[in-house]
Structure 1
Amino acid sequence: MTPDSGETHLANVRQITFGGENAEAYFSHDDQWLTFQSTRDGRACDQQYVVRVDGTQLARVSNGEGKTTCGWFLPGDRRLFFASTHAAGAACPAKPDPSKGYVWGIDPYDIYTANRDGSDLKRLTNYGVYTAEGVLSPDGTRIVFTSLKDGDLDIYTMSVDGSDVRRLTTTPGYDGGPWWSPDGTKIVYRAWHYAPEDSAGLRQYRELLGQRMIRPNRMELFVMNADGSDQRQITRLGGANFGPSWTPDGRRIVFSSNHQNPRSRNFDLFAVNLDGTGLEQITRNPEFDGFPMFSHDGKRLVWASNRGADRAGDTNLFIAEWRP
């Protein structure tokens, strides 16, 4: 598959999945496998899968109950962790009331670990509220994640065995999507905070949160040190900016955004410096592009996209060689 016009950083674009909703694909440490979430096999909500980067040897990791999200390979690539709602019920969580407009459901995820074939499933957290979006630190010792466990959507870290939980963010409003820098010293994340004078906005946010929903139409990118210090805003683009990760050299952030038309569902991938300068557009397809991750060797980029879909709404995984 050839890249869209203007996608000069992407070469030899290849589609990995075909049909359904497939998203949040993240590389194993040896760059030979991906873990991702999918509604394949006629399922009404996501389960967690692994697949080789060439699209072969697809296998389900999660137990087929509830809904899953945000998988990641543990050191050695033999086990993974991911978030699942199955402890709250075998059925898919109820979808948000359409009368609320465009909202995301804050489902009761907790984080689990399992072998790559799905065996030996173990529960890592036990909060019974939204606890997901986990990413492993580069040294393999800690997990950063987002949780509602203290009443707001905040960012935490914990040891890989679930111990030593530390809260990093406390500002009222949404903080999520955390991702370690390649050297493990910083964390990038998405957030929307409310100024003291915007008491009505904060009240509406909390009312939705009480109904286990958020309205994700406004998000900007922030960065902080790995211990939560020096929190600072990177982007001021408007619209929804989310799914941040890092270039392999740790100097830039790659993310998805609809800031060019905030009322649109056309998201593209962009890159930006840590001080907010040097904004560069990576994808130019008139459909959704999101959840970017570089391979550990820095040679490839994987992401999810609606491009080339056989049916409206299909989201598939794509991989490309990266041209700096």
Structure 2
Amino acid sequence: MGIRRAEVGERHGRRSMAGVALGARVSGRLRMGSLDQPPWDALSRAGSHRSRSSLRRRACCASAPLIAAARQPRRMVSDRAPIACQDKYLPRNRPHISTPGVRAHKSHRARTACLPRGRSRHNRYRKAPCRARLTRRHARPTDIRSTEPGVHQPTRTGKPPADEGCISMSRTRRTVLVALCFVVSACSLTAYAQLEATRIAFLSQRDGNHEVYAMGVDGTTPVNLTNHPAIDNHPVWSPDGSRIAFHSDRDRSSEVYDVYIMDADGGNVTRVTDGVGSSASPGWSPDGAQLTFQSTRGGALDIYAIDTNGANLIRLTDDAYSNSTPTWSPDGSQILFVSSRTGGYDIYSVGPSGGALSAVIEHATFDGFPAWSPDGSQIAFHSYRDGVANVYIGDANGTNPVTNIVRLTADPIEAMEPSFAPDGSLIAFRTRRHGRIQIYTIDPIALAEVRLTNTASHEAAPDWSPFLAPTSFVVLVDVKPGSEANPINLRRKGVTPVAILTTAAFDATQVDGETVRLGTDAASIAHRQAHYEDVNGDGSIDWLGHFRTQEIGVDTDTSSLTLVGQTLDGIPLSGSDVVTPRGGRPRRAPALASVGKRPTTWGAVRRDGAIR
């Protein structure tokens, strides 16, 4: 009968705690909260010759300890610390039973106490979120498990039971890892959004020869700036972003270069050096008044400085070694360059007027192409110290050696020529990992890489511009904030609110409200001044103006409204939003001529027509 009762209880979804307790007790293996063997076997051996009344009597004294043990917080199968269950699955209107001998309630609430909200007692056995706290009416033998660390009780299948409701450490680690990845991705996206007002100049061979191009921070909108049959190479942005220096052999024989300057759009190309020797690899001073470059005009390859108009030439190094690729520090106190004076190629420092040299980065292998971070606190460079050229970064220490050098890239072939973004959040570099040289960016913290170029030609020598002053802004306009359809009642004589939203690329508080016009009739704001408040709840202050509806110029065929204006600095801005005209504009009657001393009315016209 004991076996029959357990089988019937399983078929109808009701597990008998009394039968379990008796089976464990008869087998002689009952302990507080622990069973040495699966209670299924004990029930099979001990319950077969017992009557139903005997089972009922013996269950009274045996079930309470097991109920209390089952109500203890569940532990994981391994030797980890116990993890408490979530409180939202605690029984409603019933105290938590943790003392042996306390009888469990038999009500419907007690039977479904461990079920999530909304689950009825008829399907309460479908993967309950947590079976650590059970009532005796729906407890199962496999749910009674040891509370001692490291003790594993086998189940019917012989496999370790899975924790379904309790939060495990591995799941927590996965959640933290996913959240960390999300934060890193969000930071990367934010960095790109902030750099939309910058450009990257680079060398490209996509037109069959070496040309200087400029592209967006995401690799889009590449523009050929030099467009010349000669070799144009090594572009460098001026500190204000208005000009680009480069070297070219357009006025010399093949691969004998001079330094040139051009406008950021490729116009007004001017030669700076005088055609003596071969001069290349220019670099700007922080004030934009001077250029450094490498030249063979003195016989050996040395570092020079010159004014942008070609005057005041200064020789900074004077020796028989090879000195190349100079770059000025952001504060103008020193110039880094690559030198072969130690037998290999290392990075040295010299003052803006020459003088003593200081070794900044030394290694037995080749170190080259130094690049300063925007704040001057770090130096990026490429090195072969690990066998393959890769990009490294270290902390600047004045004229003393760089400290805390770490590798950023792990390129199997080569990664070279780093260049910092103007905010230091990304570093552009070139790599040959695809068989041809292409340009990538890397986040120096998250080490996330993004490919910018993907052409069949070589793309190299990236140089990141400073933040460029935009020629115009495309702003986010929100007509009637809080509405999606933006309905406009054409018969209404009130005002229509319109907001200009602040984004990562535009500060709406810089809008000059007196210049803002809306619609085809160029309506100005109705009030004396606009309002500044957070319209969309993103924590940023937006611009909000009100326009008289009858002055906007909306009719039944209008589907969008365009707003134009200027910033306080005089930079044009524009944006638009969709609208839904409603109500229909009332048709106005044409003006009637006066007849005698009284003006003719439409009523009189209708009466005259009726008389006729």
Using structure 2 for the length normalisation, give the TM-score. 0.39
| Post-superposition CA distance 1:282-309 (Å, at most 9, x none) | 11121211111111222221111123x1
Instruction: Quote the residue 1:41 is aligned against.
Output: 207
Aligned twin of 2:390: 268
Provide the rounded CA distance (Å) in 2 between the counterparts of 1:136 and 1:118.
Answer: 17
Question: CA 1:283–1:162 in structure 2 vs 1: closer, same or farther (change >3 Å)?
Answer: same
For 1:70-81, what aligned pairs fall within 5 Å after superposition?
70-81=234-245
Structural mapping, 1:1-324, within 5 Å: 12=188, 32-43=198-209, 46-89=210-253, 93=254, 107-193=255-341, 218-261=344-387, 266-273=388-395, 274=397, 275-307=401-433, 309=434, 312=435, 314-323=436-445
C-alpha distance 53-167 of structure 1, shift in aligned 2 (>3 A): same
Q: Secondary structure at the match of 1:127?
A: coil
Q: Which residue in 1 is equivalent to 2:456?
A: none
**Contact kept in structure 1, 2:274 and 2:310, CA below 8 Å:** no
In structure 2, what residue type is equivalent to 1:249?
Answer: D
CA shift in 2, pair 1:30/1:71, >3 Å: farther
Measured in 2, the distance between the counterparts of 1:281 and 1:55 equals 24
**How well do the aligned residues superpose, as a CA RMSD in angstroms?**
2.4
Q: Point out where structure 1 has 5 or more consecutive residues left out of the alignment.
A: 1-7, 14-28, 94-106, 196-217
Where 2:251 maps in the other structure, the secondary structure is: helix
Kindly provide the CA deviation profile for residues 91-148 of structure 1, in whole angstroms up to 9, marking residues without a partner as x.
Answer: xx3xxxxxxxxxxxxx311011223333322211122532111111122121111111
Runs of 5+ unmatched residues, structure 2: 1-183, 190-194, 447-612
TM-score by length of 1: 0.71
SS of the residue corresponding to residue 278 of structure 1 reads strand
CA distance in 2, matches of 1:159, 1:30: 31
The structure carrying a bigger helix percent of its residues is 2
**Partner AA of 1:170 in structure 2:** D
Indicate the percent of aligned positions where both proteins have the same amino acid. Answer: 25
CA distance in 1, matches of 2:418, 2:302: 22
After TM superposition, give the deviation of residue 30 of structure 1 in Å: 9.0
SS of the residue aligned with 2:416?
A: strand
Letter in 2 for 1:66: A
CA distance in 2, matches of 1:145, 1:30: 30
| Inter-partner Cα distance in structure 2 for 1:184 and 1:291 | 21
Work out which structure has the larger RCO, using CA pairs closer than 8 Å and 6 or more positions apart in sequence. 1
State the Cα distance separating 1:163 from its structure 2 match. Answer: 1.3
- Report the Cα offset of residue 175 of structure 1: 0.5
What code does the residue aligned with 1:280 have? V
Structure 2 residue matching 1:170: 3-state secondary structure: coil
- Shift in Å, 1:230: 2.9
- Report how far residue 267 of structure 1 moved: 0.5
Distance 1:190 1:40, change over 3 A: same
| Aligned residues of 1:12 and 1:320 also touching (Cα < 8 A) | no
Q: What's the secondary structure of 1:86's corresponding residue?
A: coil
- Relative to total residues, which structure has the larger strand share, 1 or 2? 1
Deviation string, structure 1 residues 132-175 (Cα, Å, up to 9, x no partner): 11111122121111111111111011112221111100121101
Distance 1:118 1:69 in 2: 13
Q: 2:420·2:427 contact (CA, 8 Å) conserved in 1? A: yes
Answer whether contact 1:111 1:124 (CA < 8 A) is retained.
Answer: yes
Moved over 4 A (4+): none
| Letter matched to residue 34 of structure 1 | I
Shift of 1:77: 2.6
1:118/1:248 CA distance change after superposition, 3 Å: closer
**CA–CA distance in 1 between the matches of 2:378 and 2:372?**
6
Look up the equivalent residue of 2:217 and give its one-letter code: V
Structure of higher CA gyration radius: 2
1:242, 1:41 → 2: CA distance? 28
Per-residue displacement from partner, 1:15-71 (whole Å, max 9, x unpaired)? xxxxxxxxxxxxxx996111111111233xx21111121222211122422212211
Asked whether the 8 Å contact 2:239–2:286 carries over to 1, the reply is no
Using a 3 Å threshold, how does the CA distance of structure 1 residues 31 and 244 change in structure 2: closer, same or farther?
farther
> Following the alignment from structure 2 to structure 1, what is the Cα–Cα distance between the partners of residues 394 and 423?
20
C-alpha separation in 2, matches of 1:250 and 1:192: 24
